[in-house]
Structure 1
């Protein structure tokens, strides 16, 4: 997680994501690509970089795009200066893509070789669910790298407690490669293996979770089970209880759903007081 892409629309929520991305780059010795996507109806697949790339043509729409690009560059450069103040020595480049938002982010991931994308999630009501399902949910499903969704301010982001909710079935082993990458980035963090028992018959034996930890040689590990009427509610309650810094949720590539949790990432992220959520694709 050393080549970090952070997508911004200059909203407060995007700035929360920016804060986390800068701090992660500093913690991991990584570099940061700051991305803004300008939606352009005439050229949805076009791409521009703030380090160059002329705009051809002289239509009013194109002139408007040029002016908007110039204003965007100024805002991006201000964020670069902010990053330099917070984390001197962290390499930062700023990029503007002219495309639809989802396609622009996916294009930038490939073009700049990102191994982590950081995005902001908005609000805590119906509109947030729309935002998550329409943009972040699609990104989670299609991005070839992990996606970290940040909802709240994180001015002093330190990863000391990582929550990994699962059903600890045989399929859970497919999540281990991604989980180990997270643990390698934060070797001193405590890993919380969590099972949420939603309804009768949903309990998993503590011994099963302990065996899972031993079998896969997971160090600094605690196990817990919590009862809740919904999986997302149980995760949120436990995350608050242990002051979780990150919740890690593996997903299926095609659906963006977590088999373990029986829920969409949108539902999980949409809970009111959630810490950053890291999603990645299950192996295989």
Structure 2
């Protein structure tokens, strides 16, 4: 995770994500690209030039957009200055996209090929920020790289407890590559293998988790099963119970796979659980 893209709307949640990204880059000797997407104002026709200036727009719209770009660049430079104080060894580059928010982020991902996207997450109803659930959920579904959602401040992002929910059936083995990468980045963390069930399947699930850990030589791990009305709720409650520093959820867009690989569960946990949530897609 050396090439990290951080999306910002200058909200407190986005700033929390920025600080986590800097700490991750310090750990991996990586670099950070700071991205802000400036939405095209309604009524501005004709598009934008390569300098980000509206073409074919009314003079008032043109002036407004230029001023907004200038303000945005100043705020981005302020964040770069802050990064130089917090993590002087981490190279930080800033970019501004002019597009719809989700489209602009996806365009930057496809252009820059980051190893990880980090963004602040905030639930439905936060209309003053563009990182509402719908944007987060769209990135989880469509981004080709792992996505880390951050909601709260993490002054010292030292991951000691990682929760990995699964049903530990055959599909679970396909998630190992991403899980091993997380363990490589945080080798001292305890890995919590979690099964969420509705009813008493505990003995069978416990055997499956232990067999999974043994078969794939997973070290420093614990197993647990919880009962919950919804899988996402069980994950959130267990993560809070063990003081998880990160929840890792693989997803797959294909139908017919385990419910633990459904993007809907990853989206819900990413926008509701307290700790940062890392989602990634399984290979087709």
Q: Fold conserved (TM > 0.5)?
A: yes
Which residue number in structure 2 is paired with residue 107 of structure 1? 107
* 1:200 Cα deviation from its structure 2 partner: 4.7
Deviations 1:175-223 (A, max 9, x none): 1111111112212211111111123557643221111011112122111
User: Which whole-Å deviations, capped at 9, do the CAs of 1:27-49 have from their partners, x for residues lacking one?
Assistant: 1111000000000154798686x
**Structure 2 vs 1, CA of residues 45 and 230 (structure 1 numbering), >3 Å: closer, same or farther?**
farther
- Give the match for residue 269 of structure 2: 268
Q: For this pair of structures, how many residues does the alignment match? A: 276
Q: Which runs of 4+ in 1 moved over 6 A?
A: none
Q: Is the 8 A contact 2:14 2:119 kept in 1?
A: yes
Alpha-carbon distance in structure 1 between the residues aligned to 2:45 and 2:277: 33
- Report the TM-score when normalising by structure 2: 0.88
Structure 2 counterparts to residues 100-179 of structure 1, below 5 A: 100-123=100-123, 126-127=124-125, 132-179=132-179
Q: Secondary structure at the match of 1:179?
A: helix
**Inter-CA distance 54–166: structure 2 relative to 1 (3 Å threshold):** closer
Aligned to 1:195: 195
Mapped to 2, the partners of 1:216 and 1:181 lie a distance apart of 14
TM-score (norm 1): 0.88
Is 2:191–2:220's contact at 8 Å kept on the other side of the alignment? yes
SS state of the match for residue 264, structure 1? helix
* Aligned-partner Cα distance in 2 for 1:172–1:148: 20
Stretches of structure 1 lacking an aligned partner (at least 5 in a row): none
Judge which range, 39-48 or 176-185, deviates more: 39-48
Structure 2: unaligned runs, 5 residues or longer? none
CA distance in structure 2 between the partners assigned to 1:80 and 1:251 by the alignment: 33
Could you tell me whether the CA contact under 8 Å between 2:209 and 2:223 is conserved in 1? yes
Query: Larger deviation: 104-113 or 87-96?
Result: 104-113
Q: Deviations over 1:95-115 (max 9, x none)?
A: 000011111111111222211
Residue 54 of structure 1 and its aligned partner are, at CA, apart by 5.6
Mapped contact 1:140–1:280 kept (Cα < 8 A): yes
| Residue 172 (structure 1) shift | 0.9
**Which residue of structure 2 lines up, in the alignment, with residue 55 of structure 1?**
53
Structure 1 residue 253 and structure 2 residue 267: aligned? Answer: no
Per the alignment, residue 214 of structure 1 pairs with 214
Contact persistence 1:44–1:98 (CA under 8 A): no
| 1:267 positional shift | 2.3
Q: How far 1:247 sits from its partner (Å)?
A: 0.1
